[in-house]
Amino acid sequence: MTTGSLKAATASLVLWPEDEWKTIPDVPVLYSFGILRDKVDLPDPERAYEYYRTIGSGSRIPNCLDKNELTMAGMIPFTVQHGIPFVFGLGQCANTGSSSPWTHTIKTAEVLPSFGIQAGIGDGTSDFYRQYLGCKVNRMTIEGTEKGVVKGSLDILAGYTEIPLSEIDVSGVQMALCSPYQFHHTSANLKLGEYEVARLKSWRLTVDNKLESRYYWQDTDAHFPYEHEEFEQEIELTATLSPYDLTLWENLLAEDEIGFSFEITRISTDPNGVLSFTDATLTGFIVKAPHPLPERGPMETDITMKLFGLEIVVTDGIETYPEGNPEVL
pLDDT at 51 over 90: no
- Return the HEC string of the chain: CCCCCCEEEEEEEEEEECCCCCCCCCCCCCECCCECCCCCECCCEEEEEEEECCCCCCCCCCCEEEEEEEEEEEEEEEECCCCHHHHHHHEEEEEECCCCCEEEEEEECCCCCCEEEEEEEECCCCEEEEEEEEEEEEEEEEEECCCCEEEEEEEEECCEEECCCCCCCCCCCECCCCCCCEHHHEEEEEEECCEECCCEEEEEEEEECCCEEECCCCCCCCCCCCEEECCCCEEEEEEEECCCCCHHHHHHHHCCCECEEEEEEEECCCCCCEEEEEEECCCEEEEECCCCCCCCCCCCEEEEEEECCCEEEEEECCCCCCCECCCCC
Domain range list for the chain: 7-47+63-316
Query: Which residues lie closer than 8 Å to 163 by C-beta, 6 or more apart?
Result: 128, 129, 130, 131
127-144, pLDDT tens digit by residue?
Answer: 899 999 999 999 999 999
The confidence band for 274, taking pLDDT boundaries of 50, 70 and 90, is: very low
Q: Residue 316, class by beta-carbon neighbours within 10 Å (0-12 exposed, 13-18 middle, 19+ buried)?
A: buried
> Per-residue confidence at 279, pLDDT binned at 50, 70, 90?
very low
Give phi and psi for 318, each to the nearest 5. Answer: -90, 125
Instruction: Determine the pLDDT at residue 155.
Output: 98
Average pLDDT, the chain: 86
Evaluate whether 155 touches 137 at the Cβ level (below 8 Å): yes
pLDDT tens for 114-130 read 999 999 998 877 889 99
Question: How far is it, in rounded angstroms, from Cα 238 to Cα 143?
Answer: 9
What number is the average pLDDT over the span 7-26? 90
Contact 210, 232 (CB under 8 A): yes
Give the global pTM. Answer: 0.90
pLDDT 10s digits, 57-82: 778 888 788 888 999 999 999 999 88
Query: What type of residue sits at position 79?
Result: T
pLDDT of residue 164 exceeding 60, the answer is yes
